[in-house]
């Protein structure tokens, strides 16, 4: 027991010494701690100019950089702490990592997220009142996000999905709800929408205002949690077709039947939607277009859509060949993108319109291929559902 107390004392003393050493450099004036920082951590920080500040204790390192959309060199103090600062960032959520003598590592002071080519740290640049739609609000009833394990007959293994249920779900045992299947992007997993996407707050706030209907949201792993790279000698097009291709089959064969069994759903196509960001947008089309008997609402956010206007009559088994029939079946076809992502999806939307396919095109102002774009897309998409 004495040995245990002595060990704890030494650990605490060491921690206090580190803390004291860290205080030798004053906190940057005019900064606040990012909401992504862990409990009682002082970094990462942000200022009113939307710059992010970082700190890392690495006394033996000879070079430390921080990669936050751009790579920035960090400065070492004599006590072994390294400090760095970015240029002004766009408002919203940004992944980052440290590069320590060439090795990429996460920040021990930040929460860890699945994204940006693996496990990453993150910093949130506050948006101001414009971002209140994705923040918890006073007196707004809050739904739940559950971690749910199910068995996949397709893969022969247990898997996990995250399921949002609206605040009223627990109050009535009779009411049934429509379902939105919502997918993450490449290098991410089933936690993305619930953690950095803030889906529960977005839905809670919209439902409380009467701007969207109460619904269940299911978020699963899209089997695309690594960076896509063709194997040596592999045809790039075939490799792309195979990347995450298991997911549509798992969703149809396993996930939908499981959710309809375990939750009070309205289990028909009129009350079932699917949407996804980036590669999840690609998977959304790969899932819904061959299965319009199961889905009536479709959304893509910065979707990885490999279509040209001249292909519309033939792709996906000719699903677009009869625009009138498609428009009758699909009640909402949403295409969202950030203004800084280029014109590719705008041209595709125009091609759909010219061909007679109704679609809703939305542009998130001032954002790129990032979570603020996708939060805004979700906010615009869900009011049109059900």
Q: What's the mean pLDDT in 141-154?
A: 96
Which residues make up the CATH 3.40.50.1820 domain(s) of the chain?
132-384
132-384 classified as CATH 3.40.50.1820: yes
Q: Give the residue among 207, 185, 178, 191 at the shortest CA–CA distance from 332.
A: 178
Q: Taking a C-beta distance cutoff of 8 angstroms, is the pair 340, 364 a contact?
A: no
Q: Which tens digits make up the pLDDT trace of 31-89? A: 999 999 999 999 999 999 999 999 999 999 999 999 998 999 999 999 999 999 999 99
Query: 110: which DSSP letter?
Result: B
Which of 367, 363, 360, 364 has the alpha carbon at shortest distance from 382? 360
Band of residue 227 on the pLDDT scale cut at 50, 70, 90: low
**Sign of the alpha-carbon torsion through 150, 155, 156, 159:** negative
**pLDDT, tens digit, for every residue of 243-261?**
767 899 999 999 999 999 9
pLDDT digits (tens, 9 = 90+) for 343-364: 999 999 999 999 999 999 999 9
User: Of 175-189, 257-271, 370-384, where does mean pLDDT reach its minimum?
Assistant: 175-189
**What is the pLDDT, as a whole number, of residue 231?**
67
Fold of 27-126: Immunoglobulin-like (2.60.40)
Tell me the backbone φ, ψ of residue 40, rounded to 5 degrees: 60, 20
| pLDDT bracket for residue 173 (50, 70, 90) | confident
Geometric angle at alpha carbon 297, from 292 and 299, rounded to 5°: 115
Whether the full predicted model's pTM is greater than 0.85, yes or no, is yes
Question: Quick one: 23 exposed, middle or buried, by C-beta within 10 A (0-12, 13-18, 19+)?
Answer: exposed
Domain with CATH 2.60.40.10 in the chain: 27-126
């Amino acid at each position: 027991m004495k040995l245990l107390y002595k060990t704890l004392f030494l650990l605490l003393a060491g921690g206090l010494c580190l803390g004291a050493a860290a205080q030798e450099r004053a906190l940057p004036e005019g900064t606040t701690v990012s909401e992504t920082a862990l409990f009682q951590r002082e970094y990462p920080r942000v200022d009113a100019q939307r710059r992010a500040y970082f700190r890392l204790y690495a006394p033996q390192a000879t070079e430390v950089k921080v990669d936050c959309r751009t790579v920035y060199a960090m400065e070492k103090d004599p006590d072994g702490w390294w400090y760095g600062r970015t240029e002004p960032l766009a408002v919203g959520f940004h992944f980052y990592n440290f590069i320590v003598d060439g090795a990429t590592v996460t920040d021990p002071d930040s929460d860890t997220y699945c994204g940006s080519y693996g496990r990453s740290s993150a910093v949130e640049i506050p948006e101001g009142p414009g971002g209140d739609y994705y923040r918890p609000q006073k007196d707004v009833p809050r739904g739940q996000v559950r971690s749910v394990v199910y068995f996949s007959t397709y893969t022969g293994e247990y898997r996990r999905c995250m399921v949002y249920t609206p605040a009223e779900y627990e109050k009535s045992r009779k009411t049934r709800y429509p379902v939105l299947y919502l997918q993450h992007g490449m290098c991410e997993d089933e936690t993305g929408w619930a953690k950095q996407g803030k889906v529960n707050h977005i839905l809670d706030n919209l439902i409380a205002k009467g701007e969207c209907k109460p619904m269940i949201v299911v978020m699963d792993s899209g089997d695309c949690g690594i960076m896509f790279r063709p194997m040596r000698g592999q045809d790039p097009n075939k490799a792309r077709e195979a990347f995450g291709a298991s997911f549509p089959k798992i969703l149809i064969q396993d996930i939908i039947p499981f959710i309809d069994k375990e939750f009070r759903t309205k289990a028909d196509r009129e009350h079932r939607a699917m949407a996804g960001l980036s590669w999840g947008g690609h998977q959304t089309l790969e899932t819904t277009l061959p299965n319009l008997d199961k889905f009536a609402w479709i959304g893509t956010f910065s979707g990885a859509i490999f279509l040209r206007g001249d292909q519309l009559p033939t792709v996906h088994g000719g699903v677009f060949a009869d625009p009138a029939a498609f428009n009758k079946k699909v009640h909402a076809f949403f295409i969202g993108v950030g203004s800084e992502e280029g014109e590719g999806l705008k041209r595709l939307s125009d091609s759909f319109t010219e061909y007679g396919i109704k679609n809703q095109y939305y542009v998130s102002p001032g954002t790129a291929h990032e979570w603020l774009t996708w939060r805004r897309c979700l906010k615009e998409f869900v009011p049109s559902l059900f």
